[in-house]
Structure 1
Amino acid sequence: MVEAAGLDQQETPRLRELDWSILMARAQDGDREAYHRLLTEISPYLRMLVARRIRDRTDVEDAVQDVLLTVHAIRHTYDPARPFAPWLVTIAKRRIVDRLRIHGRNRRREVVLDIVHEGVADPQADVVHDQRHLQAAVDDLPPAQQQALRLVKLQEMSLKEASEASGTSVAALKVNIHRALKNLQKMLSDRIMP
């Protein structure tokens, strides 16, 4: 179509950008069809931009979606008197950098585990082991905390029911449950990481 009009290849990007600028201006005026066409046309361009920096295909698609969502969220900031492509590329670059930062942070935190790292070959044995630790920790709690924890958390009584069953006020139960959970957290973390 462009060649038939007698235009060379260098003029094609300028025409595309002009078309995108017009589509965005129409979209800002509420033209849904123009907005849909704009998003459809810029998606392959964005995919190409993103793929230059991000290799994982899933991350490329996620980054493109991030850019499209950002364009949608800030479309009102586009000035139709200015070129569209630089505005779009700026948004794309920022979303690409955001995704690379997230990926870098996640990669630094991830630890690759082999089967050798498994504590027990049988996952059910881990559950039994954890239950024993938890039961021992609950048994080590002061009696008032044990009772409050068992009634409200393990037997799933309401605070009112537990108060009547134990002869303890609701406020005292809340305090004992809070202290019990804090103590359990400390005891279990000490047992796991001495």
Structure 2
Amino acid sequence: MKRAQDGDRLAYRTLLEDIAPYIRSLAARCFKQPSDVEDAVQDVLLTVHMVRHVYDPRRPFGPWLVAIANRRIIDRLRRDTRQKTREIEFSAEYETFAGSATNLDTAPLDEAALGDAIERLPDEQREAIRMLKLNEMSLKEAAAASGRSVGALKVATHRAIRTLRQLLRQQGDGP
């Protein structure tokens, strides 16, 4: 490590290659998955690289390395434990599409009734619904095409949807 601190690249590379198996054996005691072991090894090697300038060559290298390795492995174990406590195992009842009837209304929507209800809307609301919902235009595009402001289109759309709900309820065909 002293030669590595003095700028000897070959000595530094040899050092890292020599300590990697030892670090791997320390990590293997704490982690079950090989990928977790390798992640811990890389974590320790990166830490050694970042703090190599603080190593005192007058002191033994082994305890310095083990202290760093143990701290990084413990940090990773704590992080994994915190992450696992936040994870929830879902059962089939939480599936969005668990059954064939999921996301289907009990009463099918009558397209003709909806079309009639749209035709009964005031002109501004009908135009807003056609552009924004049926033609899927963006607010910016609809504002440019209609000459109305984005805010006016939002208000007209909101009012149109509320009116459509009322009209469809009266007909008994909607939500």
TM tier relative to shorter chain: 0.5 to 0.7
When residues 67 and 156 of structure 1 are mapped into structure 2, their CA distance, relative to the original with a 3 A threshold, is farther
35, 47, 67: which one pairs with 1:90? 67
Greater helix proportion: 1
Return the TM-score normalized by structure 1. Answer: 0.53
Q: Please report how far the alpha carbon of residue 114 of structure 1 lies from its aligned counterpart in structure 2 after TM superposition.
A: 2.8
Q: Please report how far the alpha carbon of residue 112 of structure 1 lies from its aligned counterpart in structure 2 after TM superposition.
A: 1.4
Which residue identity does 2:8 align to in structure 1?
Answer: D
Partner of 1:80: 57
When residues 76 and 163 of structure 1 are mapped into structure 2, their CA distance, relative to the original with a 3 A threshold, is farther
Q: Please report how far the alpha carbon of residue 167 of structure 1 lies from its aligned counterpart in structure 2 after TM superposition.
A: 5.4
Alignment of 1:1-194 (within 5 A): 24-121=1-98, 155=137, 168=149
Aligned residues: 128
In structure 1, the gaps of 5 or more residues are 1-23, 130-142, 177-194
For residues 10 and 53 of structure 2, the distance between their equivalents in structure 1, rounded to whole angstroms, comes to: 17
Return the TM-score normalized by structure 2. Answer: 0.58
Q: Please report how far the alpha carbon of residue 155 of structure 1 lies from its aligned counterpart in structure 2 after TM superposition.
A: 4.5
Q: Please report how far the alpha carbon of residue 55 of structure 1 lies from its aligned counterpart in structure 2 after TM superposition.
A: 2.3
Q: Please report how far the alpha carbon of residue 73 of structure 1 lies from its aligned counterpart in structure 2 after TM superposition.
A: 1.0
For residues 77 and 33 of structure 1, the distance between their equivalents in structure 2, rounded to whole angstroms, comes to: 20
For residues 99 and 2 of structure 2, the distance between their equivalents in structure 1, rounded to whole angstroms, comes to: 62
Q: Please report how far the alpha carbon of residue 54 of structure 1 lies from its aligned counterpart in structure 2 after TM superposition.
A: 2.1
